[in-house]
Structure 1
Amino acid sequence: MKKGLIVLIMLCIITPSVSAQQNNMNKPRTIFSDSAVIIDSQNGSVLYSKNGNKRMDPASITKIATAIYAIEHADLDEQVKISERASKTEGSTVYLSTGESMSLEQLLKGLMVNSGNDAAVAIAEHTEGSVKRFVDKLNVFLEEEVGVEDTHFENPHGLYGKNHYTTAYDMAKITSYALKNKQFQALFDIKSLDWKAEGWNTTLYNHHKMVKGEIPYPEVTGGKNGYIPESRHTLVTSAENEKLSIVVVTMKAQSKRAIYSDTKKLLDYGLNQFERNYIPKETIFQLDGTSYDLERDIPYTQPVSGKVTQKLEQDGVLTLYNEDHEKMLSTNLIPVKETPIIHSEAVASSEHKRMFFGKELSQQLLLYPFIIYMALLFIAGLAIFRRESYNK
């Protein structure tokens, strides 16, 4: 009986750590792509990163940025006259003919479904008057409106350029921004399309194997692929389930097999090993005598193990880290002039410490009945042991 009691106690004590270890075991350990990232498309939390901030050649996933810029700065019903320059663009095309006209919406479909480089040029010329002007405005838009920090595009289609680069993290941010637009959402998830134009009448099929259904993955809601020799294979994929919506970006894989294998691993991990949480607006932080508060609730996404730490810097930037000490999210706090009463569970220090607010706090409270139960169990076991010793 005593042995059974000890085993029961040990199992109860070990269970929480096993849960955390299981989450760590499910994290993909072998990713073939040179760079990869998962972010929550709703709140921007980074769930996984491998060289996520490394400058990479994006190839045709550039067209995600082209599409959202055009959607926000032009009317989809407008008619676009195809220039000679557009019709002679190299690489993948939808075989546009010089002088023909079609709607901007049709061109955007050709851009996203068949990765038409000629469509990209036609869209750029129509939206801003020239490719150069379009690209200049696109870069400003990406920096100021989307908030990317390490992206610069030389063209609207993704053919090689010496100064045409982005990062997996920036591409995930661009895609997450775009997905908030319903017109873009519709473009991103087109599986096939009847295409009718002067130079080509056919059915177009999405080049992204998960969107097309060639590689079944029901949670996938859209995607865009890319390839040029300099970039190798690149892939952007969005997916959602009842709990989360995520974007996975994989860049510079040496084969299609490798990049889809990586993407599936990351989708499995992102959709199943994380849950959403938030820092309440009422939370107050303090560092070296200065108090900070929040303008709004701060949503973030954490591992199901709940292992998230925080660090507050002198400049008022609060950063959240996962259990591998990888940066998940940063936000600017507001300094307050007068130091209010600080609730112990809402205080941050310059050292990393476990957070005790929002859902994380509720998870801690749930442990209290368990602790009381274990204490009573221990006392009962001790009483039984003493009684048996006395009887002997």
Structure 2
Amino acid sequence: MKKKILLMILVVFGATQTMTSANEHPIKKPDSLFSKSAVMIDSGTGSVLYSKNAHKKMNPASITKIATAIYALEHSDLEDIVTVSKNAANTEGSTVYLLPGEKISLEQLMQGMMVNSGNDAAVAIAEHTEGSVNSFVKKLNVFLEDEVGVHKTHFENPHGLYGENHFTTAYDMAKITSYAMKNDDFRVLFGIGSFEWKSEGWNTTLFNHHKLVKGELPYPEVTGGKNGFITEANHTLVTSAENDGLSVIAVTLNAQSKRAIYKDTTSLLDYGLNQFGRSYIAKGSKFQTAHSTFQLKEDFHFTKRISESVNEVVNEKGIMTIYNEENQEVATTELHSVLKSENGDQEVLASSSDKTEESDLTDPKIFYSVFLYLIILVMMGISMIRKREQEL
């Protein structure tokens, strides 16, 4: 019996040590990144978890294909049969060796574009979807601004080869990817590690160029990704990952090497997936500015660092912005006007009223409650063991 009691005590001790270690050794925010621009958002709330030059215009290279993929998915059918044009077959750069006149399904072209980064597949998709590359690009840019809601992106082609007016931002790419991840077909494409490619010009096994998706760098929480490289952009990378509480998108742009960009990405994922949780401000909460009163129509969900306090700033137009302790913008929402007097530009700080959606074990009260609960379980176990031995 003594051995059993000792084992139960060790289990409790181990559990409490694990929680204590998590409290004392949190994963820190990356001090610096090799990438010149980066962002990480929680796609479930749209909140920004990390930002470095996130709104600076950058060349995206092949991560452009994320936008091409979601536009084509929403404006064509994966079962369509595409006739490859000479123009598509002659596209420069990475390729899946399409032949002029070849007939191939749109679904296979999408796989070739996303997994092997086939530029020829991207052009074939664009021509099939909108008749020509020029028409596709014009409609794609309108779609990105009107439907996705990004305003600092302009694409000249569907594949990401260099163009003087081909640009985006880390934040815009995170929003585009977050939008795309709501589409089940896109999620499948984004997460393919490898597949068998069979066409008139090439029979082979294709492996995803994204090392975290391919599994070359193990990271179980990763659900998908797309890489890119051209000389003018250096290395670019978009990665999606999930745990029980968050669904994050990490975008890293313009890193000098693969090693650098994957180090940046894994550092961001480690930080985001382990140090953040979702919170909300309840529907009906009121906020008073110098001249007006505003109210939330619906619960407002956002993501913040665990145990971190946030500030809510409401301006006279009824726009509420959430700031973290470093005074960085986390999320924004529009409030409903309850009462308005004269107009004004003054901003006032509203009292914090957020509620955490999930229990935070870093809270000492919760920690010691869990500890007490485990002790009670041990005592109950000891009692049951003694009773059983008496019966024997």
1:358 corresponding residue in structure 2: 355
1:84 corresponding residue in structure 2: 86
Secondary structure of 1:26 counterpart:
coil
Distance in 2 between the 1:207 and 1:369 partners? 44
Distance in 1 between the 2:197 and 2:27 partners? 46
1:256 corresponding residue in structure 2: 258
Alignment pair present for 1:184 and 2:186:
yes
Change beyond 3 A, Cα 1:189–1:231: same
Aligned residue among 230, 237, 247 for 2:239: 237
Paired residue type of 2:334: N
Distance in 1 between the 2:336 and 2:352 partners? 19
Query: What is the 5 A alignment of 1:272-287?
Result: 272-287=274-289
Distance in 2 between the 1:331 and 1:24 partners? 30
Aligned residue among 35, 58, 61 for 1:59: 61
Alignment pair present for 1:104 and 2:106:
yes
Distance in 2 between the 1:94 and 1:338 partners? 61
Distance in 2 between the 1:299 and 1:109 partners? 34
Structure 1 unmatched runs, 5+: 1-17, 340-348, 371-392
Paired residue type of 1:359: T
Secondary structure of 2:157 counterpart:
coil
| C-alpha contact (below 8 Å) 2:27/2:275 kept by paired residues | no
Secondary structure of 2:217 counterpart:
coil
Distance in 2 between the 1:298 and 1:109 partners? 37
Change beyond 3 A, Cα 1:68–1:22: farther
Paired residue type of 2:59: D
Once the two structures are superposed, what CA deviation does each residue of 1:97-140 show, in whole Å capped at 9, x if it has no partner? 00011111110000100000000000000000110110000001
Structure 2 unmatched runs, 5+: 1-19, 368-392
Change beyond 3 A, Cα 1:369–1:137: closer
Paired residue type of 1:286: Q
Distance in 2 between the 1:132 and 1:250 partners? 28
1:379 corresponding residue in structure 2: none
2:377 corresponding residue in structure 1: none
Change beyond 3 A, Cα 1:296–1:119: same
Distance in 1 between the 2:103 and 2:81 partners? 6
Alpha-carbon shift at residue 293 of structure 1 (Å): 1.6
Change beyond 3 A, Cα 1:299–1:61: same
The alignment yields a C-alpha RMSD, in angstroms, of 2.4
| C-alpha contact (below 8 Å) 1:308/1:354 kept by paired residues | no
Paired residue type of 1:210: L
Change beyond 3 A, Cα 1:203–1:25: closer
Alpha-carbon shift at residue 353 of structure 1 (Å): 5.5
Once the two structures are superposed, what CA deviation does each residue of 1:289-344 show, in whole Å capped at 9, x if it has no partner? 411122321110011022211111111110011121111111111212479xxxxx
Distance in 1 between the 2:63 and 2:161 partners? 10
Aligned residue among 159, 166, 169 for 1:164: 166
1:323 corresponding residue in structure 2: 325
Alpha-carbon shift at residue 350 of structure 1 (Å): 3.0
2:228 corresponding residue in structure 1: 226
Secondary structure of 1:53 counterpart:
coil
Query: What is the 5 A alignment of 1:1-392?
Result: 26-337=28-339, 350-352=347-349, 355-359=352-356
| C-alpha contact (below 8 Å) 2:252/2:261 kept by paired residues | yes
Distance in 2 between the 1:24 and 1:291 partners? 39
Paired residue type of 1:308: V
Moved more, 275-284 or 148-157: 275-284
Secondary structure of 1:319 counterpart:
strand
Query: What is the percentage of aligned positions where both structures have the same residue?
Result: 61
Alpha-carbon shift at residue 24 of structure 1 (Å): 8.4
- Normalised to the residue count of structure 1, the TM-score between the two structures is 0.83
Secondary structure of 2:55 counterpart:
coil
Distance in 1 between the 2:152 and 2:349 partners? 28
Distance in 2 between the 1:369 and 1:224 partners? 40
Once the two structures are superposed, what CA deviation does each residue of 1:154-184 show, in whole Å capped at 9, x if it has no partner? 0000000000000000000000000000000
Distance in 2 between the 1:57 and 1:108 partners? 22
Distance in 2 between the 1:351 and 1:338 partners? 15
Paired residue type of 1:278: Y
Change beyond 3 A, Cα 1:368–1:233: closer
Alpha-carbon shift at residue 354 of structure 1 (Å): 5.4
Distance in 2 between the 1:279 and 1:57 partners? 37
Secondary structure of 1:151 counterpart:
coil
Distance in 1 between the 2:226 and 2:364 partners? 45
Paired residue type of 1:311: V
Distance in 2 between the 1:23 and 1:182 partners? 37
Change beyond 3 A, Cα 1:79–1:309: same
Paired residue type of 1:121: V
Paired residue type of 1:69: Y
Change beyond 3 A, Cα 1:367–1:115: closer
Secondary structure of 2:121 counterpart:
helix
| C-alpha contact (below 8 Å) 1:23/1:304 kept by paired residues | no
